[in-house]
Structure 1
Amino acid sequence: MNLRVVLFTSFSAIAATCGVAMADVTASTATDPNARIAPRVSSLLGAERKFVGSVGAEHLGKVAEPFIDKSGAIARIRPEPRPVTYSRKFLSKLPKATGGADLRCLAEALYFEARGESVKGQFAVAEVILNRVDHPLYPDSVCGVVNQGTGRKWQCQFTYTCDGLAEVIRERRAYDRGAKIAKLMIDGSERRLTKGATHYHTTAVNPKWNKAFPKTAKIGSHIFYRQAVPQRFAKR
């Protein structure tokens, strides 16, 4: 794309979002290939700075807000999430999932915690982990949530990380399915199964903590619960 167009697009998009007129912001339409590019770039940058300065911090904050994560860092802009169907057939049509550490941590958690569940049940467990990432009482990364308490016998949040058994992936197809689920969820697929759940347990156990949180769903052999955000973290 022409550099002139890139620069113009960046501040015209802000103008459209903020509802600010661009009467004083113009870009050269010169197409002479022999013209020196430096003066043109300088002129465009100057116009962009002038325009951004005229918008004001409040408007710019509204534009930037969706792309700032809870730590204040600039978040990666993600593509529109793919619509999800909770079936193996749907997953089989997706390409092999690739990604960074968080995808691997979530895929492993689904494999060791929920590979015996239905596809829907595995999506539900993924929701719990990502809901914790968003919750102020838990780590703010997938790997941080999955490995919280790891190394302390029976003090971890996810049993497989502290049960003393080697974490060996022997069912590659099951892992690959979990990785596809992990990618879909990390990429922003809607969390519509567990109503914001942050905890779950199997129907085979009855832990004491389940009396403290409201039950939100039962999917397969898992029962889900939601931990409220403490008042001190509530938005004013």
Structure 2
Amino acid sequence: MSVLKSWTGGAIVLLALAGGLRAEVTVSQSNDPSEVAEQGLMSVLWQERSAMSAIDKRRVTALTMAPAHSKTVARKGALPGVLSASWLAQQPKASGGKQFECLSKALYFEARGEGVKGQQAVAEVILNRVDDPRFPGSICGVVHQSNSRGCQFSWYCDGRADAVHNSSAFARVGKVARAMIDGAPRSLTDGATYFHTRNSYPRWSRVFDKTAAIGHHLFYADPIRTASN
């Protein structure tokens, strides 16, 4: 009986997340209590499956995954929703550990020619991937991720030395990295986990949801899945 109640409770939560998805439950008139319980459980499982398939995966991630923020945030309330050059100019030189260095290098090689808004957007994608269970669970893991087809971020395995030649640009993207790790809102890309430059046309972009166009990049999230997909 307790197992049935547990499944029922889980189904109710999922039904609420799906925006009120409902299904009628027909109770068997059999005198066999085990048969009634079995049919009731199958009905609950069907409702749960239907409800789960109707929920936007980005919403599930936002509800269940903790953001990848720094544990040493003391001034999170002072961070703007959208970073700006004037705000960055008032910030001290940024510093941090390994994860900070990985994000700073990713922004330098992927977006140093962008405005601050474009750099923030790229940082959002990397941090959104950290929060997504399909990707590695750390900034460095996301930035360095690769497979037999190559790297997720091409600069990391393009055969060239990852040397920083523009120290002022690196200092600027470091401030962006620091602010994003410290909890600046991810307010630009609507949960995007992919991006590409405007002059490239990857095949996957045809089926993903475009969420933003900022600077030289277009940003995408997984298509929203519904019960009819």
TM-score by length of 2: 0.64
Note if contact 1:133-1:140 (Cα within 8 Å) is conserved in structure 2: yes
What residue identity is the alignment partner of 2:174? A
Could you list the runs of 4 or more consecutive aligned residues of structure 1 that deviate by over 6 angstroms after TM superposition? none
Q: Equivalent residue of 2:150, what SS?
A: coil
Q: Which of 118, 121, 135 is matched with 1:121 structurally?
A: 118
Q: Give the distance between the partners of 1:197 and 1:120, measured in 2 at CA.
A: 15
Q: Give the distance between the partners of 1:170 and 1:228, measured in 2 at CA.
A: 39
What residue identity is the alignment partner of 1:96? K
Q: Give the distance between the partners of 1:228 and 1:209, measured in 2 at CA.
A: 11
Q: Deviations over 1:8-48 (max 9, x none)?
A: xxxxxxxxxxxxxxxxxxxxxxxxxxxxxxxxxxxxxxxxx
- Specify the alignment match of 2:129 in structure 1: 132
Q: Give the distance between the partners of 2:71 and 2:83, measured in 1 at CA.
A: 26
The yes-or-no answer on 1:224 pairing with 2:219 is yes
What residue identity is the alignment partner of 2:104? A
Q: Give the distance between the partners of 1:138 and 1:229, measured in 2 at CA.
A: 18
- Specify the alignment match of 2:104 in structure 1: 107
Q: Which of 56, 65, 84 is matched with 1:87 structurally?
A: 84
Q: Give the distance between the partners of 2:107 and 2:166, measured in 1 at CA.
A: 12
The yes-or-no answer on 1:164 pairing with 2:179 is no
Greater RCO (CA < 8 Å, at least 6 residues apart): 2
Alignment of 1:129-208 (within 5 A): 129-149=126-146, 155-208=150-203
Q: Give the distance between the partners of 1:125 and 1:176, measured in 2 at CA.
A: 16
- Unaligned 5+ runs, structure 2: 1-63
Give me the CA root mean square deviation. 2.3
- Unaligned 5+ runs, structure 1: 1-67, 232-236
Q: Give the distance between the partners of 1:157 and 1:230, measured in 2 at CA.
A: 24
Identical amino acids, percent of aligned pairs: 47
Once the 2 structures are TM-superposed, how far is the Cα of residue 123 of structure 1 from its aligned partner?
0.3
Once the 2 structures are TM-superposed, how far is the Cα of residue 90 of structure 1 from its aligned partner?
1.4
The yes-or-no answer on 1:76 pairing with 2:63 is no
